[in-house]
Amino acid sequence: MGTGFNVLVVLHLVCVVAGFGALAYNGLYVSLAQRRTGGGTSAVLEVNKMVSGLAEALVYAAILFGIAAVGASHKQYGFGQAWVSAALAVAVVDVGILHGWIRPNQRRYMALVQKLEKPMGPGESAETRAPDAMELQRMERRVNLGWGAFNILVIGAVYLMVFKPGH
């Protein structure tokens, strides 16, 4: 394996650290932003959403650089090896959880935060907003469940790549 392989592995690792690392605390952002006093929750979540967009691009790059590194390994590593295929499958499932579970729930959560941050209109009271507040708590749990599963899968993929079971 030559310099090309090593460069791809370095790029893969940098993207893993920057991408998955930036996403690792998203569940915490959701919880802490909601518990802030004085409002501004939607602003915190909006900034987090922008940073997360960059992090997601780095996650995709990490997957692509990982695939390229396997290809550049001169057959030392291959998709026929269980750990390589499993790590790729875990990454694909992780991206599926991100787009199929986390993002839709985060959009609903953000819409509720924005709705509840608006001043109460005529005829509105804490009681009329109670169902939205309860739904917000439910959505927070759903988002955090998704991020928990996402992070556990990241740990699983790291395990596979470090210990290379069956290699």
- Residue 14, pLDDT score: 98
The half-sphere exposure of 8 on its side-chain side, counting CA atoms within 13 A, is 16
Residue 35 has pLDDT above 90, yes or no: no
In this prediction, residue 56 carries a pLDDT of 97
Q: What is the pTM of this model?
A: 0.90
> Per-residue pLDDT tens for 53-66?
999 999 999 999 99
pLDDT at position 31, please? 87
pLDDT tens digits, residue range 109-119? 999 999 999 99
Q: Which residues of 110-138 are buried (b: 16+ CB within 10 A; e: fewer)?
A: bebbeebeeeeeeeeeeeeeeeeeeebee
Categorize the per-residue pLDDT at 37 as very low, low, confident or very high, splitting at 50, 70 and 90: confident
- Whole-number mean pLDDT of the chain? 94
